[in-house]
């Protein structure tokens, strides 16, 4: 009987041991899972905090960049306005300052370029057709071709369309000034001065000015651009010069002056 009782105990102990091992194992893995979950929550919390901090930092950087951009723009505008004001002081009081309010494009030779600009002064402000227009840098840049009550259209001299239709009588040279005609050469797609009598009278970087005078619609002594190169003319009887006209309007150009 004792032997049987002992055997029964052993039979009971084995399942109990197995159950104990299983329970211990489950408890161990449960603790591991709990620890991993706690660690995951902690890491997730840190990542979320880092994400929010990065987001705030990006917003701060974006605001700083925007503010810096606005400051630079204001500084740039103030510099330009100061320059425009200083130019106005140098010009005769009859010259009228006008703001550029629009641009009109054309596409000669498949190259998009600005051919006309619109300004905020018109006939009732004293503007007339064929009034000359100069830039803040004091270069002759166009002529008024159309007016309404309070706006006008200005055709730009540096456009192919203008110089192809008509030439401008100019003087060129720093010392002994020579005469020539500023026009557009379609074969090289560049403005040139033709009919220069003597090559030694003209050289690179010489300033080009209008002759003007009686019978001309262009005021005298208006700067147009500079010479870049000089060589023989088409028939070898005279010389011609390649010309660089100032780019207009540039990104910062906002005002022009009407020559009255």
Q: What's the rounded mean pLDDT across residues 107-123?
A: 82
Q: What's the rounded mean pLDDT across residues 68-90?
A: 75
| SS3 of residue 71 by DSSP | helix
For residues 207 and 240, what is the distance between their CA atoms, to the nearest angstrom? 15
Please list, in sequence order, all residues whose beta carbon lies within 8 angstroms of the beta carbon of residue 229, skipping any fewer than 6 positions away.
Answer: 204, 241, 242
Q: What's the rounded mean pLDDT across residues 140-168?
A: 91
Q: What's the rounded mean pLDDT across residues 106-134?
A: 87
Most confident of 17-21, 77-81, 129-133, 155-159: 129-133
Q: What is the DSSP annotation of 187-250?
A: TTTEEEEEEES-GGG--TTPEEEE---TT-SSPTT-EEEEEEEEEE-TTSSSEEEEEEPPP-S-
Tokens of 50: 């880092």
The percentage of the chain sitting over the pLDDT mark of 70, rounded to a whole number, equals 66
Q: What are phi and psi of 221, to 5 degrees?
A: 65, 30
The percentage of the chain sitting over the pLDDT mark of 90, rounded to a whole number, equals 38
When comparing pLDDT for 108 and 9, which is higher? 108
Tell me the pTM: 0.68
Q: What's the rounded mean pLDDT across residues 160-168?
A: 83
């Amino acid at each position: 009987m004792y032997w049987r009782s002992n055997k029964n105990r052993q039979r009971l102990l084995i399942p109990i041991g197995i159950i104990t091992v299983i329970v211990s194992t489950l408890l161990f893995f449960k603790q591991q899972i709990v620890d991993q979950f706690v660690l995951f929550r902690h890491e997730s919390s840190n990542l979320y905090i880092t994400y929010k901090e990065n987001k705030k930092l990006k917003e701060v950087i974006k605001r700083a960049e925007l503010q810096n951009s606005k400051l630079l723009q204001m500084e740039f505008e103030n510099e330009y306005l100061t320059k425009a004001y200083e130019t106005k002081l140098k010009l005769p009081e009859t010259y009228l300052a006008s703001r550029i309010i629009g641009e009109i494009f054309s596409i000669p030779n498949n190259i998009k370029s600005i051919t006309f600009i619109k300004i905020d002064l018109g006939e009732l402000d004293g503007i007339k057709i064929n009034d000359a227009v100069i830039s803040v840098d004091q270069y002759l840049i166009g002529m008024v071709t159309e007016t309404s009550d309070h706006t006008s259209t200005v055709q730009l001299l540096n456009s192919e369309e203008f110089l192809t239709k008509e030439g401008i009588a100019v003087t060129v040279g720093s010392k002994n000034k020579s005469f020539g005609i500023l026009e557009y050469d379609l074969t090289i797609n560049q403005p040139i001065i033709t009919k220069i009598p003597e090559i030694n009278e003209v050289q690179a970087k010489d300033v080009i000015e209008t002759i003007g005078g009686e019978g001309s619609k262009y005021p005298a002594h208006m700067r147009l651009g500079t010479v870049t190169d000089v060589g023989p003319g088409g028939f070898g009887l005279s010389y011609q010069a390649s010309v660089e006209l100032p780019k207009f309007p540039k990104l910062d150009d906002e005002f022009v002056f009407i020559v009255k």
